[in-house]
A and B are shown apart, each in its own frame.
Chain A
Amino acid sequence: DTQMTQSPSSLSATVGESVTITCRASQSVSNYLNWYQQKPGKAPKLLISVASNLQSGVPSRFSGRGSGTDFTLSISSLQPEDFATYYCQQSYSTPRTFGQGTRVEV
Chain B
Amino acid sequence: QVQLQESGPGLLKPSATLSLTCAVSGASLTSSHYYWSWIRQAPGKEPEWIGHMFHSGFTSINPSLKTRSTISLDTSKDQFSLNINSVNAADTAVYFCASYNTAGSFFDYWGPGTLVTVSS
Q: Could you list which residues of chain A lie within 8 angstroms of chain B, going by C-beta atoms?
A: 1, 32, 34, 36, 42-46, 49-50, 53, 87, 89, 91, 94-101
| A87 to B48 Cα, complex, angstroms | 11
User: Is A49's CB under 8 angstroms from B104's CB?
Assistant: yes
User: Is A98's CB under 8 angstroms from B47's CB?
Assistant: yes
Q: How many residues of B contact A (CB 8 A)?
A: 21
Looking at the complex, which one of A36, A53, A97, A100 makes contact with B49 (CB distance below 8 Å)? A97
User: Is B64's CB under 8 angstroms from A91's CB?
Assistant: no
User: Is A94's CB under 8 angstroms from B46's CB?
Assistant: no
User: Is B60's CB under 8 angstroms from A94's CB?
Assistant: yes
Q: Could you list which residues of chain B lie within 8 angstroms of chain A, going by C-beta atoms?
A: 45-49, 60, 62-64, 96, 98, 100, 104-108, 110-113
User: Is A43's CB under 8 angstroms from B110's CB?
Assistant: yes
Q: Assuming the A-B contacts A49-B104, A91-B105, are A98 and B46 also in contact, with contact meaning beta carbons closer than 8 angstroms in the complex?
A: yes
Nearest CB on B from A41, distance (A):
8
User: Is B105's CB under 8 angstroms from A43's CB?
Assistant: no
Most chain A CB within a 10 A radius of its CB, from B46, B63, B96, B111: B46
